[in-house]
Amino acid sequence: MKPPAFAYHDPTSLEEALELLHRYGADAKVLAGGQSLMPLLNFRLSSPTALIDLNRIAALAYIRQDSEQLRIGAMTRQRTIEFSPLVHEHLPLLHEATTLIGHLPIRTRGTIGGSMSHADPAAEYPAVATALEAEFVLRNARSTRILRAEEFFVTYLTTALALDEVVIEVRFPLSPSTSGWAFAEFAQRHGDFALAGVAAVVDVHGERCQMARLATAGVGPTPLRLRAVEHLLEQDGLTEQSIEVASERAAELVDPSNDLHASADYRRHLVRVLTRRALRQAAARSRKTQS
């Protein structure tokens, strides 16, 4: 199918794009990599009057480091993130998650801003942003505001973005150099959205767990931060025994629904297995940085 007719704008500055968005309001959609939006248009599940293409705004594509954060421009391609030495060094969880997204052509076009704004519950980036306590910088024609990941993701395919706002940047706190990470997921075929995923970062010293951050993908309307699991590990340390208890607790915390891809019980079982797998791998990587 072909999309319905729409006016097409390809501004070269953010200001121009925001003015257009202000003018069209609810009738416009911004176009990033088009990997989710174009299928929606072609199936006529979305019929905007105007498309505002962000692809010519070079100022929105960058990866920059400051003393405490890595700041990634919204139009940065997933493929650029996959091969960024800065991401590799400071946000290895984001690197690992990127390699799990779809296929090469999707990562070549897909952007971080598009993936976050689309907010598919099974997508990897929202889970990483939740686990790492990322911040989202949102702009409209008049002002800028910053939201935490847990404020940004509202429900299925829905974020806190207002109709006239765009994501311009995602800010990730740098992970401690002694931390280990893992993104464990299960998908039926390579490149499919995962049935369930668990993102984990831990900072382990001997059996002591100085810091644990975990979030899920694919088992609820938004990523779920597993705070009770984090507290447990930070209190009891990271041992084989505590990993077992943590995995059971993770499975209790999620509330997945049944759909045609998997039952709620199966997704809960996956959370148990993937939490165990992610914690073992993250702990091993953390210990390796100190050996």
Report the interface residues with ligand FAD, using CB under 6 A.
29-37, 74, 101-102, 106, 109-111, 113-115, 117-118, 120, 123-125, 161, 166-167, 191, 193
Residue with smaller CB distance to ligand FAD, 80 or 281:
80
Of residues 82 and 203, the one with the C-beta less far from ligand FAD: 82
Q: Which residues pair with 184 in a beta bridge?
A: 198
Least Å distance, CB 244 to ligand FAD, is 29
Q: How far is the CB of 291 from ligand FAD (least distance, A)?
A: 33
N-term to C-term CA, the chain: 57
Measured from the CB of residue 220, what is the shortest distance to ligand FAD in angstroms? 16
Provide, rounded to whole angstroms, the least separation between the CB of residue 256 and ligand FAD. 17
152-158's contacts with Cβ under 8 Å and 24+ in sequence apart are 152/116, 153/119, 153/126, 153/222, 153/223, 154/119, 154/222, 155/221, 155/222, 156/119, 156/121, 156/221, 156/222, 157/118, 157/119, 157/120, 157/121, 158/119
Q: Cβ closer to ligand FAD: 191 or 255?
A: 191
Give the nearer residue to ligand FAD in terms of CB position, either 77 or 285. Answer: 77
CA dihedral 50, 107, 113, 256 (to 10 degrees): 100
